[in-house]
Amino acid sequence: MVEPHTRAPLSIYDDGDNGVRMDMTTAEALDHGASGAFSSALATRLGASGIWLETIRDALQEALGNAVMHGNLELDSKLRQSLETMKKYGALMAARMHDPHYASRPITIAATWTEDSVTLSVRDDGNGFDIAGLSFGARDAQAHSGRGLSMIHELADSVRFEDQGRAIHMTFNRER
């Protein structure tokens, strides 16, 4: 894996009049703080700030983390259920970050907006997951998996998945 300081900064591209996009690899997503950079660029384009922008940033960070860990690196949340399995999770994550098959997989963050809302999308290149098996009730702080998606559902005004869970679309109303 290339050292983070030798990489070029991630670029954010205008995607039409009301959209922006950032393309990266799994390794770049971890090395560059992509959710913060994207949120800042979005704030500049929208003239947004405050709690609404923090809400978007928090949801984006969760979605991007899921795309990296569970999507492109194919790490199972069940490996975080105990100290013993957490060590295996960390070792497997490190090994996969050094494996070009996993580290170079693409991730795209995109945003489109209207006068009324902003929709953020995160797409990974993983195996996807069973969308039908999802349920979103109150977050269980003791749960070993699913907390990030529950948090995203709490933060966004609407959430939808496509491509067998490889893409998440989160919509935020602008009147917050």
Is the pLDDT reported for residue 114 higher than 70?
Answer: yes
Q: 93-98: which pairs have CB atoms within 8 A and are 24 or more residues apart?
A: 93/69, 97/1, 97/26, 97/27, 97/30, 97/73, 98/1
Strand-pair category, 117-123 with 158-162: unpaired
DSSP letter (8 states) at residue 72: I
pLDDT per residue as tens digits for the range 131-166: 887 766 655 555 556 678 999 999 999 999 999 999
**Residue 7, pLDDT score:** 53
**Residue 148, pLDDT score:** 86
* pTM of the predicted protein model: 0.87
**Distance between CA atoms of residues 53 and 124, nearest Å:** 23
**Residue 77, pLDDT score:** 83
DSSP letter (8 states) at residue 9: P
The pair of three-digit structure tokens given for residue 130, joined into one six-digit string: 């069973």
* Spatial CA neighbour of 51 closest among 139, 141, 155: 155
Strand-pair category, 19-25 with 106-113: antiparallel
pLDDT over 90 for what percent of the chain?
Answer: 60
Q: Which residues pair with 167 in a beta bridge?
A: 123, 162
Summarize the confidence of residues 52-78 as an average pLDDT: 93
Confidence grade of residue 8 (pLDDT, cut at 50, 70, 90): low
pLDDT per residue as tens digits for the range 79-98: 777 888 889 999 999 999 99
101: how many CB neighbours lie within 10 A of its CB? 9
Domain boundaries of the chain, sorted by first residue: 10-173
- How far is CA 79 from its chain centroid? 20
**Residue 136, pLDDT score:** 64
**Residue 4, pLDDT score:** 43
Answer CATH for 10-173 from 3.40.50.2300, 3.30.565.10, 3.40.640.10, 3.30.1330.40: 3.30.565.10
Is the pLDDT reported for residue 66 higher than 50?
Answer: yes
